[in-house]
Amino acid sequence: METAQYVQAAAHTECNAVYYWKTTYNLSDGEKVFLQKHRVGRMYIRFFDVVMDVNPMTSGLDAVPNATIRFQEQPDSTLEIVPTVYITLEALKLMKDAEDEYASKIVNRVFAMINANHIKNVKEVQLDCDWTKSTEESYFCLCREVREKFHHWSVDVSATIRLHQLWQNEPPVDRGVLMLYNTGNIRSSKVENSILSREDVRPYLRGVLYGLHLDFAYPTFGWGVWFRENEFQAILDWKKLSDYSQSRLFRQKGGSEYVVVEDFYDYVT
């Protein structure tokens, strides 16, 4: 059996990075100022999702691309761009025993989008999937196939890693990004911060020895959570909620907890 020879991409450098998770790439002036102010050197851009849907060619259920991003402007060539592909569990299950075929489709689509949009400075592609123990074999097979194909073009492959996956086998990729957000139970009224808290994260990190280099992704968003008699109702728009948190609509009960004192209907998202 011949051993494939790969040309490795440039060494992974540590820098400030952000995720761009929209269906249209068109940076606002404020977003451009943010990138400059925080010296962002890398941007993970979600290129498309892979979901379970009807394949128009076969009329049957298949793993197909969805929500492909449209570039209304070309990303800054000084930014390292990391095309990111989100794969749902339902789609992953449909790929079983045909991972090489789907890996080729993913790689070809990513390259087609890079070339069509004249995107520069691509050293890495990322796969994003919340795989489970039962889907690990199929996902790892997909990762190996995708990695082998991209390595021939001097492009590395990374994967997102959730906290619970730290205690599972490492995917066969070059590195990972640990997703440190949505760590708490959003449906529990006893959870003070469902986005991120040290108490939620600490048990996963204690004593773990992970075999991949990991970068860390932290949340830069906020939300409010609405409970009625301790039962979860909805997520609230935090920007709107914070604007009115001191108004007659709310009374602060303590810390970040507020009690609604007057009915309103504008804030449920």
pLDDT, tens digit (0-9, with 9 covering 90-100), for 159-212: 999 988 988 899 999 999 998 866 555 555 566 665 666 777 677 777 778 899
Low-confidence ranges of the chain (pLDDT < 70): 1-10, 181-197, 201, 221-223, 225-227, 232-235, 237-256, 262-269
Confidence at residue 207, expressed as pLDDT on a 0 to 100 scale: 74
pLDDT value of position 116: 95
What domains lie within the chain, and their CATH numbers?
Answer: 16-221 (3.20.20.80), 223-269 (no CATH)
> Rg of the chain over CA atoms, in angstroms?
21
pTM: 0.82
pLDDT for the residue 220: 74
Q: Which two tokens stand for residue 18?
A: 């952000």
Quick one: pLDDT at residue 107?
A: 97
- The one-letter amino acid code at 36 reads Q
β-partners of residue 158 are 126, 175
Distance CA(122)–CA(74), nearest Å, equals 13
pLDDT value at residue 203: 74
CA distances 118 to 75, 84, 96, 115, Å, are: 9, 16, 33, 5
Q: Report which of 173, 180, 47, 191 is spatially closest to residue 114, judged by C-alpha positions.
A: 47
Residue 165's Cβ-side half-sphere holds a number of Cα atoms within 13 Å equal to: 25
Amino acid type, 56: P
Helix locations, the chain, DSSP H? 29-37, 89-94, 99-116, 136-151, 198-205, 238-243
Please tell me the distance from the alpha carbon of residue 144 to that of residue 141, in angstroms, as a whole number.
5
The whole-angstrom separation of Cα 82 and Cα 178 is 16
Residue 252: predicted pLDDT: 67
Q: What is the pLDDT of residue 141?
A: 98
